[in-house]
Structure 1
Amino acid sequence: MEDQINYVKRSQRDYSMSLKLQIVSEIEKGNISITQTRKQYGIQSHGTVLNWLRKFGNFDWENQTPTQMAKTPEQKIMELEAQVKLLEKQKALLERQAFVADKKA
């Protein structure tokens, strides 16, 4: 008897959102190709992965340019707060270094 590969027809709903996002992230970082992704995760269609990249990725596939997704005001606030904390730590470190340098002089 001849060996046959039985494909199970799958739909987009068969893949979890977290898996889709993980795959998109890996491809965009250059860690894996679409073909390798398909083999590794058993995804039958190249188009399925392309759809995920178009839908969830940070790359404008029509114009072939990276895009930045619009951030919500909450995301912007969180980023700015983190940046302020980092700058405050850097300032404190520099002030300590300047104090020590003044004592030595």
Structure 2
Amino acid sequence: MKTSDKSGAAKRTQKDYSLSFKLQLVEEVEQGFLTKTQAKRKYGIQGDATVTKWLQKYGNFDWENQVPKTMSKTPEQKILELEAKIKLLEKQKARAEHLAERADKKVIIFDMLVDMAEKEYDIQIRKNYTPDLSTSSKKNIKKL
């Protein structure tokens, strides 16, 4: 192990990290005693991603599915989580209903304005549009 001139902290090389050291560090970080940055400083680890790689390799957290491997939720935790989801969905539903009601009111107001404009200016704004068949469709009908 080499010591750095500036900080006095020990600089480590890859050869210095034993498996037991890595497991100890991972355990400290997972138990919340240290953050990744604090562990890096405390043990003089130079690589920015080293601690993260060790956590992924040796830790209990399932990095692919973002769920802890060993920590199963108690029924109470599951209930609380589902209740929180229900509250969120109820808020989202209420917001969607509110927006739908506003949109309906806007349509009614727009129709009223169009009616008023048609009466006031004696013009037809709304078109009674009935789609005609396209020319290619007309040709196909004549052939039949």
How high is the TM-score relative to the length of structure 2? 0.39
Identity of aligned residues (%): 49
Cα drift, residue 9 of structure 1: 7.1
Q: Report the CA distance between 1:24 and its aligned residue.
A: 0.3
**Structure 2 SS opposite 1:20:** helix
Q: What is the Cα-based RMSD across aligned positions, in Å?
A: 2.3
8 Å contact from structure 2 (residues 36, 51) kept in 1:
yes
Candidates 22, 25, 42, aligned match of 2:27: 25
Which residue of structure 2 aligns with residue 55 of structure 1?
Answer: 57
Q: 1:43 maps to what in 2?
A: 45
Using the size of structure 1 for normalisation, the TM-score is 0.52
- Output one character per residue of 1:64-95: Cα deviation in whole Å (capped at 9) or x when no partner: 21013xxxxxxxxxxxxxxxxxxxxxxxxxxx
Q: Report if aligned partners of 1:24, 1:57 keep a CA contact under 8 Å in 2.
A: yes
| Alpha-carbon distance between aligned partners in 1 of 2:11 and 2:42, rounded to the nearest angstrom | 16
Task: Give the distance between the partners of 1:25 and 1:33, measured in 2 at CA.
Answer: 11
The runs of at least 4 consecutive aligned structure 1 residues that moved more than 4 Å come to: none
**CA–CA distance in structure 2, aligned partners of residues 47 and 38 of structure 1:** 10
What is the match of residue 126 of structure 2?
A: none
- How many equivalent pairs are there? 64
**Per-residue deviation at 1:14?**
2.1
- CA deviation map 1:15-71 (0-9, x unaligned): 011110000001111110000000000001121111111111000123321013xxx
Q: What is the distance in 2 between the residues matched to 1:21 and 1:8?
A: 19
Partner of residue 15, structure 1? 17
What are structure 2's unaligned runs of at least 5 residues?
A: 71-144
Give 5+ residue unaligned stretches, structure 1: 69-105
Higher relative contact order (CA 8 A, sep 6+): 1
